[in-house]
Amino acid sequence: MSTFVLVHGAWHGAWAWYKVVPLLESKGHDVVPLDLPAHGTDTTPIEEITLEEYVEHVGEALEAEDESVLLVGHSSGGVIISQTAEEYAEHIDRLVYLSAFLLDDGEALIDYAAADDESVITQHYVLNEDAGYATVADEGIREGFYADCSDADVTLARSLLRPEPLASQVTPVEISTERFGSVPRIYLGCEQDRAITPATQRKMRENLPCEEVRTLEASHSPFLSAPDALAEHLDAIASA
């Protein structure tokens, strides 16, 4: 069986995977859901956050494993797993982008997010530049993140979201064919996504093709709304 290291997206934490972890474990996999610095229960101050800080945190988790892992990144977590692959390629079996930002060398998340004017999150993005973070206006949270989620899951998620440091959003990735490009990548898109729209997902895949593309009929947070289907896809990827 395989080891999955799960990297959440902006504003979220390891809690986002709480339904998926036991499903993957029941299939025999080891699963490591991470809280990125300044997310979830991590107490790192926002002003200390850099993209490199994220990468080092994920890299430590990779180095703690005895075998290469499937590194899964959701949403902005795609930026982090790409940069991590550049620096820790030998520890990664495959990269899995779950409705995630897939950036080429020199690109930053904000380049795609700002251009996606159909994105509910872009429309409700609230920047606090002086404090170094961004939030999402309350009226955009459910439609943008959790359009097909239960009321209970939306209530839970709202209580756990935290301000997002700007580091992973404005810092360009620095990746190479020799390092990042040596790790196979799979894209698992969400066809009802209102945060990173399907059109933006396709554009990123056209610019930086993946070895395999899979799709879920779900909005931006399938770990909450479609955990069984998501776990089936991840298990199939691990078994390929």
What are the residue numbers of the active site?
A: 75, 193, 220
Among candidate residues 116, 79, 120, the one with its CA nearest the CA of residue 100: 79
Residue given tokens 């066809």 in the structure block:
191
Distance, in Å, from the CA atom of 153 to the CA atom of 145, rounded to the nearest integer, reads 11
3-state helix, strand, coil in the chain (%, to 5): 45, 20, 40
Chain centroid, CA 146 distance in Å: 15
119: left (phi over 0), alpha (psi -120 to 50) or beta: beta
For 134, the 3-state DSSP assignment is strand
CA distances from 99 to 26, 113, 200, 220, 224 (A): 24, 13, 10, 7, 14
Residue given tokens 């009929």 in the structure block:
217
Among candidate residues 144, 168, 211, 179, the one with its CA nearest the CA of residue 52: 168
